[in-house]
Amino acid sequence: MQRRAFLHSLAAVGALGCLPAARALAASPMANSVENAVSVEQLPKLEGDLTLYLGTGEGGLYENVLAAIEKRNPKLNLKIRRGVTSALANTIVAEAKAGVRRADLFWAVDSGAVGQVADAGLARALPANLTGQLMPGFQYPQWAPVTGRIRTLPYYTGRFTADQIPDSIMALPDSNLSVGWAPAYAAFQSFLTAMRLLEGDKATADWLRGVNRRAKTYAGELGVVMGVERGEVDVGLANHYYTLRLKSGKPDAKVDLAFTKNDAGCLVNAGGVVALSQGDLPINFIRYLLSREVQSYLATEAFEIPLVSGVKPPEGLVPLSSVSPPKVDLTQLADLRPTLNLMRSVGVL
C-alpha cells in the first residue's frame, strides 16, 4: 500500500491499513480478556505530548504507521527521536542514570534492546487487557512484541530443493554448502546469542569456525538473500521477510525458504515497544500498534508476522504453527557482549 493511501485510510473512520475496513469487535479493548486484534475505531483518541524513541529500519514503513496515527489523532503532539536501536537503548539507560527521562516510549526493531531497557528497571508494567491480545508465547508483562520474524535458510532453487537443506542449524558446517551471512547485522547477532544460550559457547564457536570456512560476507541480510538468488552462494542466514520481499517484486526469483527445527536457526524473534512513563497515553499508543489495521499493514507491506490473534500472516510464509522454534525468552537476547567477544575471538568480526 502506498504511504498516502495508508495515511488516508487510517485517518478515515473505519478504514486503517492495507486490508478492507474491519468491523468493530463486540468486546471492548479495555475488557479483562482480549483474544483478537481490535480496530482503531474502538481505541481512545490520543491527546497530549508524547516522545517516542524509534529504532530505525524497515524502509520507512514504521514511519508510515506513525504518520497515520498522528493524522488520525490531531491532538497528539508526537515527538520522535530516531536512531540505531542499540544506541537508543544505551541512551535511555544512560539518561535514567543521569536522572533524566526524555522518552515516554521506545519502539525497537530488536527484542534484545527492549530487554536491555527492561533489565535496567525502566519499563512499566503493561495491563493484562493489552498483553492478552498477543499470541501465547509472546505475552510479556513489561513490553509488547509488535511483529515477529523467523530465522530462515534461504536457498538457491537453481541447484537445490528444500529437502537437500539441513533441518539442523548445527549441521550446516558439515553440509558442504556455501553460505551467505552478515555477521555485523543485529539480527544475526541476536540469532547467535540464542545459539549460545541453547548450545553453549564452545559449540557456537565451533559452528562459527566451520561456517566461516565457506562463508561469503554481505553488508546486510537483504544482500544475503540477493546473493543466494544470484547463485553466488548455496544458502543464506536471514530473517524470513527479506526473501518474501524479494519474491514479491520478482516472483520468478530463484530463492525459497527452508527451516530448521527446534534450534536457533528457526528462532522467532520480535520487534517490540516498551512504555517508559506513567499515564494512559503511552499505553493507549501501544494499543494502536497492536490494532488490526496496523498489524495487517505491517504483515502486507513489511511481510512481518502479526503477533495478535485474528490477523492474516504475510503472503508466502508457512503458518507459524508449522515452524518449530526453540523456547527462548526473547529478553535474554539483550546482552550481546559475550556474543560479540566470541565472534571477535573466532575472527568473524
Kindly provide the b/e burial profile for residues 81-96, where b requires at least 16 CB atoms within 10 angstroms of the residue's own CB: eeebbbebbebbbebb
**Which whole-number Å values give the CA distances from 275 to 12, 53, 218, 244, 279, in the listed order?**
27, 11, 35, 31, 10
Q: Residue 20's CB: how many other CB atoms inside 10 A?
A: 10
The answer to whether 101 and 95 have CB atoms below 8 angstroms apart is: yes
Phi-psi group of 319: left, alpha or beta (phi > 0 → left; psi -120 to 50 → alpha; rest → beta): beta
The answer to whether 342 and 348 have CB atoms below 8 angstroms apart is: no
Q: At 207, list the grid cell.
A: 559452528
Q: Distance (Å, rounded) from C-alpha 60 to C-alpha 7?
A: 13
Q: Residue 97's CB: how many other CB atoms inside 10 A?
A: 9
Q: Provide Rg for the chain, Cα atoms.
A: 20
Strand ranges for 75-119 from DSSP E = 76-83, 105-108
Q: At 75, list the grid cell.
A: 491532538
Q: Is 53 annotated as a binding residue?
A: no
Q: Is 241 annotated as a binding residue?
A: yes
Q: At 287, list the grid cell.
A: 494499543
Q: Based on the number of CB atoms within 10 Å of its own CB, is 315 exposed (0-12), middle (13-18) or buried (19 or more)?
A: exposed
Segments in 173-238 forming alpha helices (H)? 186-199, 201-212, 221-229
Binding site per annotation, positions: 241-242
Binding site per annotation, positions for Fe cation: 241-242
